[in-house]
Amino acid sequence: MSRSSLRTTNSRPVPTSFQRKFGLPLSCLWLHVGGPIATNGKSRRLRVDPFGNNVAAAPGVSGDQARTTHDALVTRVVRLIKEAGIPASGGGYGSVKGVFTKNIDQSNLPLADQDTLNGIIPDAKIDGRAAVRLADRPPNKLHDVVTLVEVKGLATVAETVAHRASRIDSDIDKAALALDTKYPGSTVLAEKKKYCVGGKYLALVTGSLGNCSADLNVVVDLIAGVNTVRALELRITNQDQLFSMHRRRLVSSFGLFTTRLWARHIHDRFRDAVAITAPSHTPHFPDPDREITRDFHLSRSHARPQRCGPRRSA
């Protein structure tokens, strides 16, 4: 095992990641099982369970854990796509808030309708019109179109990621139609239909156990295909084997990233709602654990520490 791989195991969420993955009770919660989870207002009162499900999903918890987790997911997806040379925006790589700017007059929108509009603005946008494709393989549904992407984090285990993903596009269509009906001349729904295949959003949902919706496979296949084409320009090898290699690396990397990200989500919520220390109103970058995790998943190289003292001669 490399030194950099060992270094990543120093972060506190690592045991939580493995315990969640294997369905084991969380060691960080052993002394707090049955204790109350602090929530605000009339939110449902839950208690700590051994597996951290209630800590992850309890409503009305102070802090900014949900947004931090969501934004990290969006930024990770967009970064993977951009590293493959595919134009994309969203997260920490540019805003997509202007998608529906010209389709509805926002100057006098009531707050409730502004919230509705904000709710249908995509998290990311992928331009696959110039993406290269593999020979002898059908085109990916991201090829030849500009696709709008919605990213959701599903903290509860009461709903599957597949079911949550299936609701995204219909919910957006209903909200867009309601705005167009209420404000004559608005064309929000028509604008949405210009994107993607059939005007349907790409629904990327990640669950608190690191599980992901099927549309993640679409993104993985696109990136793996582009990377395979580029690799074939440099060497002669089996196309299918090379594609499989790139695909496995992406699935493994993103799966590890989401598992550890949700473990961090539980630790942050534990701090804010069970141990009750300083609430996380802002993301906690930088701190050593987070920097190690971020650097690892962004594939940055880790410099080897310098040896102290003279080398022993052979």
pLDDT digits (tens, 9 = 90+) for 247-274: 999 999 999 999 999 999 999 999 988 9
Domain-located, residue 145: yes
CB atoms within 10 A of CB 229: 17
Angle of helix 239-273 relative to helix 13-21, nearest 10 degrees, comes to 110
Domain-located, residue 142: yes
Domain-located, residue 295: no
The token duo for 105 is 């007059």
Per-residue confidence (pLDDT) for residue 11, from 0 to 100: 55
Q: How are beta strands 88-90 and 202-207 bridged, if at all? A: unpaired
Domain count, the chain: 1
Q: Are 174 and 115 in contact (CB under 8 A)?
A: no
Domain-located, residue 16: no
Mean per-residue pLDDT for 23-32?
A: 92
Residues 6+ apart with CB under 8 A from 64: 280, 281, 282, 283
Per-residue confidence (pLDDT) for residue 34, from 0 to 100: 93
The token duo for 82 is 């951009």
Domain-located, residue 284: no
Whether pLDDT at 276 is above 80? no
Per-residue confidence (pLDDT) for residue 63, from 0 to 100: 85
Domain-located, residue 114: yes
Domain-located, residue 73: yes
Domain-located, residue 118: yes
Q: What angle do CA 124, 130, 133 make, to 5 degrees?
A: 105
Counted residue by residue, the chain has a size of 314
Write out the residue range of the structural domain in which residue 103 sits: 68-265
Q: Are 259 and 20 in contact (CB under 8 A)?
A: yes
127: enclosing H helix or E strand = strand 124-127
Question: For residue range 194-222, what is the model confidence (pLDDT) as tens digits?
Answer: 998 888 999 999 998 889 999 999 999 99
Backbone φ/ψ region at 211: left (φ over 0), alpha (ψ -120 to 50), beta = beta
Distance (Å, whole) CA 202 – CA 139: 16
Per-residue confidence (pLDDT) for residue 5, from 0 to 100: 36
Whether pLDDT at 293 is above 60? no
Mean per-residue pLDDT for 41-55?
A: 90
Whether pLDDT at 300 is above 90? no
